[in-house]
Amino acid sequence: KDLHTSLTPIDKLESLLLEEKHLKDIVTHLESKRRKALSEWRELDNLARLICRRIASPLHDIQLSGIPTQLQTSSLLSFTNSLERELKAREARFLVFKNEIAELINTMEYCVNDEFLTSILAPNSEANFILSQENLNKIIECKDTIEKKFLEIKEKCDRLWLSIEFLWNLLGVDNTYIESFKECNKKLTTLSFENLEKENLRLKKMRLDNLSDYIPKLKEELIFAWNKSRFGAQKREQFILVYGSQVSEDSLAAHEDAIFSAHEYYKKNIKILQLLEKRDELWGNYQRMETNHTNAEKYQNRGGALLKEEKFRKFVHRELPRIDIELNSLISEWEKKNVTKFLIDDVTYDSYIKAQHDCLQNEKEERKKFRQMSRTPTITPVKKNLNCTISNNRLNSTMYRSRACATEQVNRIRQPQTPIIPLTPIKRRGSFLWPNDS
């Protein structure tokens, strides 16, 4: 009955002793089966209770009366297996969070005063920590708080390093001091952050004491950053209009921020700008070859230079279209992402390319006009058969001398080669000078 089974009827045996022995064997077998069922149930039940305590989960609701049935044991086994999988998953998550928190704290050299955080970082804490969903959420919040603080310090340190290195460069600080300072403050610790703040304040004070040397360098650096980022004259003049042409003590920070902003823009779009710079270099070589292509002297006394030029011409003709395709793709992606036009010296990419082609065409036409104007003038031939009179002899002598002079003049005209006109440089960006600096 306890085993939820029925007794199989037995045949009558020869003697009561044999029948008794057979019944005892059946009882022994059933008793063994009962003990095994109870033992298996207790083992599974204890394991389930232990895991439920570890993960703060409710226990099973299987109602047991007497010895568990096979179905009840199977249900408990399935429940325990699911608990074990959940425990392993939570332990794995806990270890990941623990390692991330420990790494952040070690990097920041953060002083731990929180009891909950201390219990997380304790040795072998994953074996004893209550891995409830509530505790896991608290661990995530704790990690996010530390990570946020770390990112804040990192962002502040990055800005301070940018300012410090910029001021070191413009103020001409000794390299030995710079290397020593970098070595001592390379970690993102609270102490390093404080040292960076002190160094930044020291350099800003030094800057104010050397404004006469600092301001010209600041202007040069700003123009260099604008040129590198391909900011056009419109943006530059707008900045001058807002902050004035004279750099004062009050506008120093604005000019420095403009430099940092230009550098940041360059870093974000470095792929486009570097590819554009490469294209401009190739285009400059292409322009020189095209404008000199019709020069009559190009085949004389060249040696192997002509072969090299043709080889380079093929390279340019192959490379320029490839770069144009890549630039078009990158700029289209940028414009789609930023919902605005990508400007190069105040114009769009298509307008910039068209201006380059127009400039090349104008250069060719100017050279063609110059060659036409520099052609040798035609000399009118002189009659030879004149009457041999005394007066005619004098006339012939005079004409001979005139003809000789004319020949000499023609030789002087023919002697020099056609001068080479220097190329008009490509107007890569609007020329910009600070007011009253030219």
- pLDDT for position 7: 57
- pLDDT for position 240: 86
- pLDDT for position 419: 45
Of all helices (H) and strands (E), which one includes residue 376?
none
Cβ-contact 355, 427 below 8 angstroms: yes
Cβ-contact 131, 91 below 8 angstroms: yes
Place of tokens 């490839």: 322
**CB under 8 Å to 391, separation ≥6 — which residues?**
none
- pLDDT for position 327: 94
Joined tokens for residue 106: 């070690």
CA distance 181 to 200: 12
Neighbours of 266 (CB within 10 A): 17
Joined tokens for residue 169: 């460069």
Structural domains in the chain plus CATH codes:
16-153 (no CATH), 208-294+307-373 (1.20.58)
Joined tokens for residue 221: 């650096």
- pLDDT for position 413: 43
CA distance 44 to 46: 6
- pLDDT for position 378: 53
CA distance 163 to 155: 12
Of all helices (H) and strands (E), which one includes residue 344?
strand 343-344
Decide: helix, strand or coil at residue 201: helix
| CA nearest to 188, candidates 160, 164, 154, 156 | 154
- pLDDT for position 227: 93
Cβ-contact 101, 117 below 8 angstroms: yes
In our burial notation (b when 16+ CB lie closer than 10 A, e otherwise), range 384-422 reads: eeeeeeeeeeeebeeeeeeeeeeeeeeeeeeeeeeeeee
Chain centroid to Cα 398, Å, comes to 83
CA distance 157 to 176: 21
CA distance 252 to 265: 20
- pLDDT for position 76: 82
Cβ-contact 253, 215 below 8 angstroms: no
CA distance 328 to 207: 43
Cβ-contact 403, 382 below 8 angstroms: yes
CA distance 314 to 267: 32
The one-letter amino acid at 96: V
Neighbours of 79 (CB within 10 A): 19
- pLDDT for position 109: 79
Per-residue pLDDT in tens (0 to 9) along the chain, 438 residues? 555 555 555 555 556 667 667 667 767 766 777 777 777 878 888 888 888 888 888 887 777 667 777 787 888 888 888 888 999 999 999 999 999 998 888 888 777 778 888 888 888 888 888 888 898 999 999 999 999 988 999 999 999 999 999 999 999 999 999 999 999 998 888 889 999 999 999 999 999 998 888 989 999 999 999 999 999 988 888 888 888 777 887 788 899 999 999 999 999 999 999 999 999 999 988 888 777 665 555 555 556 677 777 788 888 888 888 999 999 999 999 999 999 999 999 999 999 999 988 888 888 888 778 777 876 555 555 555 545 555 555 545 554 554 444 444 444 444 444 444 444 444 444 445 555 544
Joined tokens for residue 185: 């403050």
- pLDDT for position 339: 92
Cβ-contact 120, 129 below 8 angstroms: yes
CA distance 323 to 279: 7
